[in-house]
Amino acid sequence: MVTIRDIRVILTRPMGRNLVVVKVETSEPELYGLGCATFTQRYRAVVSAVVDDLKPLLIGRDVSRIEELWRLMMFNGYWRGGPVLNNAVGGVDMALWDIKAKVACLPLVDLLGGKVREAAAVYQHADGRDHAELDDHIEDLLGQNIRHVRVRLGGGAAQTRASGEAGGMAYGGVGAVTPPPDGALAGAYFDPSTYARSTLGALEHVRDRFGDGIELLHDVHERLNPVQALGFARDVERFRLFFLEDPLALEQIGWHERLRAATTTPIAASELFTQPSEWLPLVSGRLIDFLRMHLSHLGGLTPARKAAVTAESFGVRTAWHGPGDCSPVGHAVGLHLELASPNFGLHELQPFVDAAPEVFPGCPELRDGYLYPSNLPGHGVDLDEKLAAKYPVEPSVVAWTQSRLPDGTLSPP
């Protein structure tokens, strides 16, 4: 029996985002697994959960009993769920799947039923401070044969200032943000009306400029109230989006039935979801078209594969969350699941740039708009710990999540 000998956490920042990687070492020399546990905004809490809580619980246990260990990690603390615990559990869970595939001398996808496709189509983000800059960004992506593009106008470039304190990004980007009242606190000020108008104009411009040979996506990021979201989803119908992401805030998921009735725009949702009780009603009610959970926030590969199979039964596709604060390990695990899932839709990818390919040997490879995994056993991604240490994480107070409406009220970022 192969057992867990040690569990360590490696922190690194090769692409400018704080990444958390869990390394599960076993009783077999040189046999280990890696998992992504990145919760950038609260990474220190995840480290503590792994090292102080999960490690003592798991040392000496059989690495092959993945389902048993996942349940043990979840149930042992009595209260369960939430992004801190889920990331800690998810990092260990991915590492255990990596180990199991290495023991079998197979790529991870083969343990998930084998490939139904050779690679995953990706989408990338294009933004700009104006239409010309947006065009340049899109043309660059098209030149790489990336045909799915998420459009945002503004690029986070506009600034506002509140009460003499440094202001933050104004997501609308174009058009003036309404000045906040005297005494308003500093933050990332954002005008929903300006955002909606400028985004509709940008989508119209891009569709006219590039035609139907490009698939367009847009992420509302929960920045509209429910009535505004319904109207916006109807307004974008004419642009034939591949999907509209998170038009409703996590706290307003009860509005999804009205949203479905109001528009034919495909809806992607669930980026912030951490529990089946959140996504299951939307899937079983056929109220969304794409699941968007972040695999480590969900608790790893074990719950993600169950979500994918459940979604398939209801005609819902997957488009797992894949931002820059998902490590190459997390991207690789998601990719293997996508290659085995008939109901895969699209892979979100912020490219592995700077030192990432050296820190994480075996990164999935992007070629002509498709992401390909390494053919090595496991998920295929390794970690050079010495090189990772040259890119230390940087503790900071997160600014972009301090989003405020024009009157200074905090709102979802």
Residue 143 lies in a domain: yes
CA-wise closest residue to 148 among 173, 182, 125, 174: 125
Residue 380 lies in a domain: no
Mean pLDDT of the chain: 93
**Domain end marker among 65, 84, 107:** 107
Q: How far apart are CA 194 and CA 150, in angstroms?
A: 19
For residue 347, the SS3 value is strand
Stretch 241-251: mean pLDDT: 96
Residue 122 and residue 23 share a domain: no
Spot the catalytic one: 171, 189, 195, 391.
171
Q: 189 has which bridge partners?
A: 404
Residue 206 and residue 71 share a domain: no
Residue 348 lies in a domain: yes
Residue 200 lies in a domain: yes
Residue 32 bears catalytic tag? no
User: Which CATH number characterizes residue 221's domain?
Assistant: 3.20.20.120
Q: Which amino acid is at 108?
A: L
CB 375 within 8 A of CB 335: no
Instruction: Provide the residue range defining the domain that includes 339.
Output: 111-375+399-404
Residue 412 lies in a domain: no
Give the tens place of pLDDT for each residue, 96-147: 999 999 999 999 999 999 999 999 999 999 999 999 999 999 999 999 999 9
Residue 171 bears catalytic tag? yes
Q: How many domains does the chain have?
A: 2
Spot the catalytic one: 137, 221, 297, 379.
221
Give the tens place of pLDDT for each residue, 329-381: 999 999 999 999 999 999 999 999 989 999 999 999 999 999 999 999 999 99
Q: How far apart are CA 242 and CA 260, in angstroms?
A: 15
User: Which CATH number characterizes residue 43's domain?
Assistant: 3.30.390.10
Give the tens place of pLDDT for each residue, 300-329: 999 999 999 999 999 999 999 999 999 999
